[in-house]
Amino acid sequence: MAATMSSTTNSSISSHSSSFVFTDFPRKFNLPTSRFSFLLLNDTSGGVSRSFQFSNRCCRTTTRRRRLFVKNVASDQLQKLQHPPSNSTDGIALDAFQPDSASVVSSIKYHAEFTPLFSPEQFDLPKAYYATAESVCDMLIINWNATYDYYEKMNVKQAYYLSMEFLQGRALLNAIGNLGLTGPYAEALKKLGYNLEDIVRQEPDAALGNGGLGRLASCFLDSMATLNYPAWGYGLRYKYGLFKQLITKEGQEEVAENWLEMGNPWEIVRNDVSYPVKFYGEVIEGPDGRKEWVGGEDIVAVAYDVPIPGYKTKTTLNLRLWSTKVAAENFDLCAFNAGEHAKAYEALKKAEEICYVLYPGDESFEGKTLRLKQQYTLCSASLQDIIARFERRSEDFVNWDKFPEKVAVQMNDTHPTLCIPELIRILMDVKVLNWNDAWEITRRTVAYTNHTVLPEALEKWSFELLQELLPRHVEIIKMIDEELVHTIIAEYGTEDLHLLEEKLKEMRILDNIDLPPTILESLVKLQESLIEDPIEDESSDTVNEQTEDEEEEAGSLNDDEDPETETKVTFEPDPKQPKMIRMANLCVVGGHAVNGVAEIHSEIVKKDVFNEFYKLWPEKFQNKTNGVTPRRWIGFCNPELSRIITKWTGTEDWLMNTEKLVGLRKFADNDELQSEWREAKRSNKIKIVSFLKEKTGYVVSPDAMFDVQVKRIHEYKRQLLNIMGIVYRYKKMKEMSPVERKAKFTPRVCIFGGKAFATYIQAKRIVKFITDVGATVNHDPDIGDLLKVVFVPDYNVSVAEVLIPGSELSQHISTAGMEASGTSNMKFSMNGCILIGTLDGANVEIRQEVGEKNFFLFGARADEIADLRKERAEGKFVPDPRFEEVKAFVRSGVFGPYNYEELMGSLEGNEGYGRADYFLIGKDFPSYIECQEKVDEAYQDHKRWTKMSILNTAGSFKFSSDRTIHQYARDIWMIEPVVLP
C-alpha cells in the first residue's frame, strides 16, 4: 500500500502533474503527511475520501502546481481500515500494513519526490537511501503511535533506561528485518536499479556511543521491544559523536563525526516536548521553609525521538534523545548590532556545546564542567519528562506513593547518578513533598548497573565544582550522606571509634568532608569521655606483678608511643586531599538494586568494590550477565550462517528462543553441516578481504586464519599483549628458513580495531605501535601471506558487522578481574568464532557453555592478581626471557624511527605511575604465546576446528539480551510484558 508516482529512472524522478488523494488516516492519527505513504492506495479499484493538492512548496522549486494521483492498491485492505476487526487498536488494524514490493517501490518514489532532503534532479544512492529510510519510518510510526497510545490508555508501569551512550549502528537493515520486510525491500530496490546492500551502506552509524556500554544499551532496547516490555530509552543527541578516527603515519588522529550533516531520517524532533535545565545560581528558603533554586544559567532540552521496533511484534518503543538550546531572547541583539558578536551568542554557544561531543576531554576544569552539564541535562530533562507522563496518566489526582509502582529508572553506570538528587529536588521543591517521602520514593524507583571495577571509572567529582554548578543538589547529597552516616553508626556502634572512622571513610558519599555538625559533636564528646575515663579492667586487682625484665621490655616498646594518640580519633578531613563526591556510593545508597554484568564481576562487586555496602544491604546486590541481540548479531549481519542454523535446527524460532541453538550440538560432527559451515565462514572471510582492501589498502589471503581483536583501546584490555605476541611470532619467522617457517606457522591475518580516547596517551602509543608493526610486517617479502597485521580505522557497529561473521579466532585477553563482562566476546562466539582469553568477565560463563575444549585459556586468575602485583612491588618478579627478547627487538628500531621507550618502559620497574607492568603483560606473556601454539595446532585440523566453531554457536544460547531483559524486568523493574491487541 503506497503512493504511485509517474515513471522513474535511476537518474531522475518525473515531474508530470497529477492529483493527490488520500484517506483520513494521517489527520485522524496525527501523522505528518510525509509519513503515510503506505496508507496511500494505488489501485484503480476502491474509493477515495477526498482530494488534496500540494502547493509548489511541498515539491520542487517551480512556478506551477504539482499534483500526484494516488489510488488504492487493494480494496480489501481499504475495507480493513474502514471496518477494522475486533482485535484492532483504536480502529487501527496493524496487521493490515504488509506491503509487497510494488507498494514499496511506490513508497520510495513518493519520498524521493515529496520528502525534500535532496535536490530533485538525481536519484542517486544517497537519495535512494533516504527515500527508502523514510518509507520504512512510515511503517514504524503506525506501530510507534499505537504502542504509545496503548501504554497511555492502560497506564502501565514503564522502565526508563538512562544511558550516556546508545551505540545503535545502522538502522535500515535492522528495521526492515524486524518488520519482516527484507524481501519486499530487496525486490523493490532491485526494480529501481539498486541492491539493498548498496543502499544500506549509505547510512552512517549514529555517533551516539563509543563501546560496549552503548552497544549493550541498544541491544537492550531491541530486546525490550521484541519482548513487549513497556520501556523507553533516554540519552543525548551528540552532534559530533566521540570522534572519527583517522590512522596516519603519526598513529591515531581525531576529527569530528559528520553523521548529521545530511540529516537523520530516523528521528523526529518534538518541538512541543522541551524542559528547562538550570546551572549555577543560588538556593533560597521561603517563609514556609521550602527551598527554591534561582538565578544562574538556563537552557532548554528539546526531545528528538527515534523509533525502536521489536522483532515480529507490533511493539515499537522510543529512544528519546535530548538536544540543548536557549530561548531566542537569550540572543543579545544589541551586542550583535554593536559588533560584539561573541558576546551576543555566548549563551547560545554554552547551551549548544553541551550536546556537541560524547565524553569531552576532562583534563581541564572547563572539560569537567561540560561533562557534568551533560550528565545533569540527561537526568533533569528525562525525569521531568517521566514525571509529566506520570502526572498526565494520573489525571485528576496524583498519588506520589504510586510513583515507584508506575516508574522504574535504570542508571546505566554512574553517568546518570544525578537523577537521584534531581528526583528528590523535583519531589520536594516543585511537588512539595517532605524529605522522608521524597527519599523513600526515590529509593524505590531507581536502580544501578555497575560496569567497571576500575577506580578511575567509579566517578568522583569535585565537591567545589558540584557546589558551584548544582548548589541545590549538593544540599540534597549532604542530606543523603547524613542518612547514610546514621545508618553506619547504627550498624557498627560507637564502642570502637577506630572501626567506625574506617567505615565512614570507606562508605560515605562525601569523601574527605566534615561530618554533619550534630554527629561530629556527639562523636567528639564521646571521644573525650573515653580519654578522660578509660574503662578499667575488672580483673585489675588480680593482675600479676611484672618482673623487672618484663617491665623494661614493655617500656622500651612504648617509649615512642603517645597513649593519647593511640585512642584519639578526630574524624577530621585531610586538608592536603581534595574534597570529592563519590557517585558510585551515591548510586548504591540511593537505589533499591545494584547489579554486576557477569557472574565473576558481580562477585567482585560484592567482595571488593562495594563490600561494606554488601554487608549492610546484601538484598540489594544481584547479577545480570550481559547479553546481545541475536537478530542483529547473527540474523541480519550473517545471513549465510543464519540459513544454516535454521536448516539444521528446523526452525527460525532460534532468533527469539536461542535455546534452540543447543540443537546444533548433536550435528557438530556431521560432515554435511561442517562443509556448509566452512563454506559460510569462507564467504564471510572474502567479504572481509574486500573490506580491508577498501579501508586500508592491504591485500590479505582468505586462506589464512582471521585473528581479530576489536574493542576500545585500553591498557587493561591488553592490545599490547597481543601485538607483542605478534612481534615474537614475526621475529621467530625471520630467524627461520622459508621451509621452516612455512612448516612451523599457520598463516594469520591479525586484525585490530578500536578507538583510543583522545587524551589517553598510552593507548594512542599502542595504536601507533600496532600500525608500525603492520607497516613493517606487511611489506616484508620474506613473510608474504604467512602474517599480516591490519588496523581498521574508525571501528564502529557497521565495521563489527563485517568483521565478526568472518572471524575465526577472537582475542579477549584482559587482565583477569578487570573486564566487567564484555559483549563482543558473545557476538564472536555466536558467529562460530573461537575465543582465546583469560578467565575474566563473561569469558568465564562462555567457556562453561561452549566447553573447556572449545576455548583457549591462558593467564593468571582474578584471585591471583593482588599477590602478583605485591610480588612485583617487592622485586621478586623474574621476566620470561622471551618477553625480554621481544622488548629488545622493538627497541632495536626494526619497526621504524618512533621512540617506543615510554611504551616499553611501562612494562619495567617495580613501582611508579605508568610503570611496573600494572596489567601483568610480562607475567601472562609466556602462557599467552604457548596458548597461541595450541591455536595453530588446532587450526590445522579442519574438522576439529569446525566442530569447535559449531559448538561455540550452540553454546552461545545463554547470551541473548532477551534473557537478560527478562531478568531485569522480573527482578529489578517488576514490569510485565504488554502485548498490543
Q: Which residues are catalytic?
A: 451, 711-712, 717, 823, 827
β partners of residue 852: none
- How far is it, in rounded angstroms, from Cα 361 to Cα 755? 14
CB of 41 closer than 8 Å to CB of 77: yes
Contact 857, 838 (CB under 8 A): yes
Contact yes or no for 959/846 (Cβ under 8 A) = yes
Where helices occur in 697-791 by DSSP H, the ranges are 719-734, 738-744, 761-777
Q: CA dist 309 to 87, 144, 226, 265, 790, Å?
A: 20, 8, 7, 15, 36
What pairs with residue 85 in β-bridges? none
State how far the Cα of 783 lies from the Cα of 730, in Å rounded to an integer. 8
Q: For residues 343 and 497, what is the distance between their CA atoms, to the nearest angstrom?
A: 56
Burial of residue 117, with CB atoms counted within 10 A of its CB: 0-12 exposed, 13-18 middle, 19 or more buried = middle
Cα angle at 489 between 488 and 492, to 5 degrees? 80
In angstroms, the CA 236 to CA 227 distance is 25
Output the DSSP codes for 581-624: EEHHHHHHHHSS-EEESSHHHHHHIIIIITHHHHHH-GGGEEE-
Q: Which residues contact 541 (CB under 8 A, 6 or more apart)?
A: none
Kind of pairing between the strands at 251-255 and 282-285:
unpaired
CA distance 410 to 449: 7
Distance CA 263, CA 561 (A): 73
The angle that helices 212-226 and 961-968 make with each other, rounded to 10 degrees, is 80
| Cβ contacts of 31 within 8 Å, gap of 6 or more | 25, 141, 142, 145
Count of Cβ atoms closer than 10 Å to residue 917 Cβ: 22
* Buried/exposed code over 65-95 (b: 16+ C-beta within 10 A; e: otherwise): ebbbbbbbbbeebbebbeebeeebbeebbbe
Closest CA to 177 of 186, 190, 189: 186
Q: Are the CB atoms for 775 and 788 separated by under 8 Å? A: no
Neighbours of 631 (CB within 10 A): 25
CA proximity to 815, closest of 932, 922, 671: 922
Residue whose C-alpha is closest to residue 954's, from 640, 536, 621, 660: 660
Burial of 864 (0-12, 13-18, 19+ CB in 10 A): middle
**What type of residue is 280?**
Y
Collapsed DSSP state (helix, strand, coil) of residue 77: helix
Q: What does the block give as the cell for 595?
A: 547489579
- Nearest CA among 366, 247, 264 for reference residue 323: 264
The identity of residue 74, as a single letter, is A
Here the cell at position 737 is 628458513
Residues 6+ apart with CB under 8 A from 176: 136, 182, 185
Find residue 750's DSSP bridge partners: 707, 789
Q: State phi, psi for 613 to the nearest 5 degrees.
A: -70, -35
Q: Which residue has the cell 557453555?
A: 849
